[in-house]
Amino acid sequence: MSDAVLVNPRDYDVDLHDVYAAFMWNHSFASYFTTFNDFLAFGWGAIVVTDKKTGRGHVAIRSANPTTDHHTANGASSLGALGGTVQQFARMIKVRFGESLPKLPNQLPIEPFESKPRLIRIINDLTTYKRLQATIPSAELNAKRKKLRAGDPWEVQALWNSRNHTFLALEIAWWEKGNGVVLEAGVAAMRCRNIDAMDSWPPMPDVNYRRAHYVVSEWLDKRTNTNHHMPSMPRSYAHGETQSVSMAALEKVLK
């Protein structure tokens, strides 16, 4: 069994099936690749990536030969284990059939979201292609989660526009001198699916948001726990009633 090869996903910039669709028309060699399976027999080096702009997953390959060396998991050089590229395929067509391939027409270039090295897979038949293609949904979901955790505004907007999710906003006021002392907490939540079902979209914060404000009774009005740089105002909540609770009770509420 050959060693695993780690590659930089940023080098994988075209979709494998798109290459097949672009090249297999009106060429003298097309009869040799009548099926996608025949085309895959070339032995393509592929990984699954998601595009930064569209969020769509792709079984991606390299359009050009690598400019830097790659290594197997044990550190050995392994340029020969990277599989075929579009450039190598074009060279093969030139040698075997004497035909020069044009630049890839109507190709949407992929800008991979992933940055960490990935294990390459050599695709040489439809079975291995489908096996790799089956991992696309999980790759798309993983990329979306990372973007949301990073606060990507486009992903957040897409979730909001779907009107199918629950949004929760939580703000904690801490004692600025540290020690993990919580002075107050504010919570706002909205179930988009319910609001949309009641034909109340777009939502009105004062009507459709579930809101709550809690102050920790142990530290309320204690001068030693007053913030000066970013003052807390436990008695100035403008969107409803304030509840005074103990720290233990607040932990249960927030969980």
Distance CA 100, CA 107 (A): 18
Asked if residues 9 and 119 have their Cβ atoms less than 8 Å apart, the reply is: no
- pLDDT (tens, 9 = 90+) of the chain, 255 residues, equals 445 788 999 999 999 998 888 877 666 677 777 789 989 999 999 999 999 988 899 999 998 876 554 544 444 444 456 888 888 888 888 888 787 777 766 677 899 999 999 999 999 999 999 999 999 999 999 999 999 889 889 888 988 999 999 998 888 888 877 777 888 888 889 999 999 998 888 888 888 888 888 988 887 777 656 666 666 767 777 677 888 888 888 888 877
- Exposed, middle or buried, 168 (CB in 10 Å: 0-12/13-18/19+)? exposed
The pLDDT score that the predictor gives to residue 243 is 87
Number of domains in the chain: 2
Distance CA 99, CA 123 (A): 24
Distance CA 61, CA 17 (A): 10
Is there a single domain that holds both residue 98 and residue 141?
A: yes
Last residue of a domain, one of 120, 148, 176: 148
Residue entry with tokens 């930064």: 52
The pLDDT score that the predictor gives to residue 67 is 57
Closest-CA residue to 168 (of 195, 188, 143): 188
Is there a single domain that holds both residue 239 and residue 187?
A: yes
Is there a single domain that holds both residue 106 and residue 212?
A: no
Number of CB atoms found within 10 A of residue 25's CB: 8
Amino acid at 223: R
Name 185's bridge partners. 172, 214
The pLDDT score that the predictor gives to residue 75 is 46
Is there a single domain that holds both residue 186 and residue 141?
A: no
Is there a single domain that holds both residue 11 and residue 49?
A: yes
The pLDDT score that the predictor gives to residue 3 is 58
Asked if residues 175 and 227 have their Cβ atoms less than 8 Å apart, the reply is: yes
Structural domain of residue 189, as residue ranges? 163-254
Name the DSSP letter for residue 228. Answer: S
Is there a single domain that holds both residue 115 and residue 203?
A: no
Distance CA 49, CA 218 (A): 51
Is there a single domain that holds both residue 79 and residue 167?
A: no
Greatest Cα-to-Cα distance within the chain, rounded to the nearest angstrom:
86
